[in-house]
Amino acid sequence: MTTGVETFEFQVEARQLLQLMIHSIYSNKDVFLRELISNSSDALDKLRLETLRDGDLEADTSDLHIALEVDKEQRTLTVRDNGIGMSHDDVVQLIGTIANSGTAKFLKELKESQDAAASQDLIGQFGVGFYSSFMVADEVTLLTRRAGEGQGTRWVSSGEGTYTIEQVEDAPQGTAVTLRLKPEDAEDHLFDYSSPWKIREIVKRYSDFITWPIRMAGESAGSSSDESGSDDDSAPEDGGTPELETINSMKALWARPRGEVTDEEYNEFYKHISHDWTDPLETIRMQAEGTFEYQSLLFIPSRAPQDLYMQDRKRGVQLYVKRVFIMDDCEALMPEYLRFVKGVVDAADLSLNVSREALQQDRQIQLMRRRLVKKVLSTVKDMMSDNAERYATFWKEFGRVLKEGLLGDFENRDAILEISSFGSTHDAEQPTTLRSYVERMKEGQEHIYYMTGESRSIVENSPHMEAFQAKGYEVLVLTDPIDELWVDAVPEFDGKQLRSVAKGQVDLDDEDESSEGGPEREQQKKDFADLLSWMTTTLNEQVKEVRLSSRLTTSPACIVGDTHDVTPALENIYRAMGQNVPQIKRILELNPTHPLVSGLRTAHGERPLDSGLAETAELLYGMALLAEGGELSDPSRFIKLMAGRLEQTL
């Protein structure tokens, strides 16, 4: 018995995506089966977990499995599971419209993508693998009933403009996806997916490690031409229904000896748990024995997922207890700054009914987390020394995220610093490690110098850099927003203080152990004392002090902060986060050898009451602010003053 059939139209973005699927944006169409089996495996995991948490749930868990059913005459393939299933609302929200899978953003990214590999990656990231079924099927039917509910739902679509949804009274628990297969087309890499031999081959290659049995009817002897000609002992002699065979090994990869698992198997397992379509950059295995035992199989992806910086992203690794799936995204096992790490942790001594809240306080979980983090960081360090190209890929994709750990993970701060890379004036193309920076430090140099900024060009052309460039000192070029935060939290590396070239007093002559400029500098301070005092008073609303600079060689002025001041960029970050930060006055430094500054000193000495000199001081401050990429509080006034001065020169 069924209720009325409702017909709906796909949204514009959904139709575009389905057309891409139907016309195959990737050459390997076999992956559609991997996606469907992966969905079934997740549904079985969720049902077992739900029954552990809800003892009153009316659900049959006596024989949880995935079944593959082939009908060569009707040319259909069905992937069936008796897992958690979906309610009518679930179907509407998750299947009926694919806008929830990020369709609009997916299509935008897809249009910008130039290669098939990137397209595959996007599909995996946006979770629309179910729709890869339309690559091989003219019509897809989904029949499902959520465990504990009495009514099921049927969803049908040909992948064109519409789909139908109807409620069904007699649907079995779980989900069945039936594909009405397209004809075989060798030129389009479209194989005969009604062939049991082909189905077995795909399962063995992609889904052999699934921990649930994947069952399929054994073939009769009469169908041997479809394979290699060998007889199948599973076929009954009376010609009845063949027995079901389990066609996957069901061996958890993390529990098998390393020598028994191929790299291809690891790669496919990674794709299964991450829904990524590219091989991982690195595979990490761990096995702990002793007070408590656990096994882990972790992966570092080869590219960052699209949701890496989204607030509502899911993170964490899968948690199992004695091969029993507990949760999909156990955040307690992996810190926020390692949210890109995927994988499985299988513990031997945890409760099967453990809650997320309890995990946060569990001593074993905390100890496992410490060891897992150290293992990931040491793996990256090994990658840095053994395979520079792979490390460069890692840093390009995840370096910005990894540096977040410098703010909160005090225990591993030194390890994170060791494996971090930064832009530098030493080489415009290749980033450097802090270890390499220290090894290149000039004789007598005491500090590690850095400058933060929005871009490399802004930093390189900043007046703050002039003296350092003139004396050949290397400066780290830090342009990630996170750099503004961690540099204040990390005081030193290898006994060397980290010093901003845009903060505090700079006296490179002391580092060079040169005393040449000492008496000259003292004389300059006396000569400029009146000007500095007058400018400090004149610009008191903008700056807290005007002083002579030792960091300028060609520019007339620059603006610096006190050693412990918050930078303007950091002020903006805090304000964007909703925090009320009082505006901090900074320091205006003057280059005493610049003609504009020395001329202003002379003019002030000769006519201290000239109102035009105050405007010159204001222009000098404005130019210094613009030079560091800052924003003028009153741009129109600055332009008016500048235009007036230019007019006087004509």
Rounded to whole angstroms, the Cα distance separating 558 from 552 reads 8
Going by DSSP bridges, is the β-strand pair 162-168/174-181 parallel, antiparallel, or unpaired? unpaired
Helix, strand or coil, per DSSP, at residue 230: coil
Question: Measured between alpha carbons, how far is residue 542 from residues 386, 469, 559, 564, 617 in Å?
Answer: 52, 28, 11, 18, 11
Helix, strand or coil, per DSSP, at residue 566: coil
Rounded to whole angstroms, the Cα distance separating 467 from 551 reads 5
User: Helix and strand tally (H, E) in the chain?
Assistant: 22, 23
Q: Are 85 and 172 in contact (CB under 8 A)?
A: no
CA neighbor of 8 nearest in space, from 107, 76, 98: 98
Q: Where are the alpha helices (DSSP H) in 181-295?
A: 196-206, 263-274
Please tell me the number of Cα atoms within 13 Å of 431 on its side-chain side. Answer: 21
The interaxial angle of helices 116-125 and 103-112, nearest 10 deg, is: 170
The interaxial angle of helices 263-274 and 31-53, nearest 10 deg, is: 60
CA gyration radius, the chain: 33
CA neighbor of 85 nearest in space, from 120, 47, 114, 139: 47
First to last CA, the chain: 93
Q: Which residues are annotated as a binding site?
A: 35, 39, 81, 86, 101-102, 125-130, 175, 356
Q: Which residues are annotated as a binding site for ATP?
A: 35, 39, 81, 86, 101-102, 125-130, 175, 356
Q: Which residues pair with 6 in a beta bridge?
A: 165
Structure tokens at 521: 């500098």
Question: Measured between alpha carbons, how far is residue 648 from residues 617, 621, 641 in Å?
Answer: 17, 20, 11
Rounded to whole angstroms, the Cα distance separating 444 from 472 reads 13
Please tell me the number of Cα atoms within 13 Å of 198 on its side-chain side. Answer: 17
Q: Are 284 and 298 in contact (CB under 8 A)?
A: yes
